[in-house]
């Protein structure tokens, strides 16, 4: 099974929704990147150890930007933008 994502200008990638659901990935979960060859990387889900920080609240941009939105929490916001991904 192959899935393609696009690297942003800031070096970020999105984990496909299907994989997030299958691996039960939530915000703040750490992923470990290992170089396998000059053109391949392996990504592992790091085992959870205690409470994970909210990545949006951890950065000033997130606090300033998302505080203005009409959502009670980051989860509410993410749920609203992920509508339609299920299926």
**pLDDT tier for residue 27 given thresholds of 50, 70 and 90:** confident
Range of the structural domain that residue 38 is part of = 1-46
Co-location of 73 and 41 in the same domain: no
Across residues 38-61, what is the average pLDDT? 71
The pLDDT score that the predictor gives to residue 57 is: 56
Please state, in angstroms and rounded to a whole number, the distance separating the CA atoms of residues 87 and 69: 27
Q: Is the dihedral of CA 42, 15, 19, 48 positive or negative?
A: positive
The overall pTM is greater than 0.85: no
CB contact at 8 A, 80 and 71: yes
Residue 36 has pLDDT above 70, yes or no: yes
Instruction: Name the domain count of the chain.
Output: 2
Residue 77 has pLDDT above 80, yes or no: no
Max intra-chain CA distance, the chain: 45
77 sits in which H/E element = helix 74-81
Co-location of 62 and 84 in the same domain: yes
């Amino acid at each position: 099974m192959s899935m393609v994502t696009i690297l942003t200008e800031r070096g970020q990638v999105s984990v496909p929704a299907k994989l997030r659901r299958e691996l039960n990935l939530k915000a703040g979960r750490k992923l470990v990147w290992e170089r396998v060859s000059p053109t391949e990387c392996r990504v592992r889900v790091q085992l959870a150890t205690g409470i994970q920080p909210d990545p949006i609240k951890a950065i000033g941009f997130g606090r300033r930007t998302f505080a203005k939105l009409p959502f009670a929490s980051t989860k509410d916001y993410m749920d609203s933008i992920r509508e339609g991904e299920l299926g």
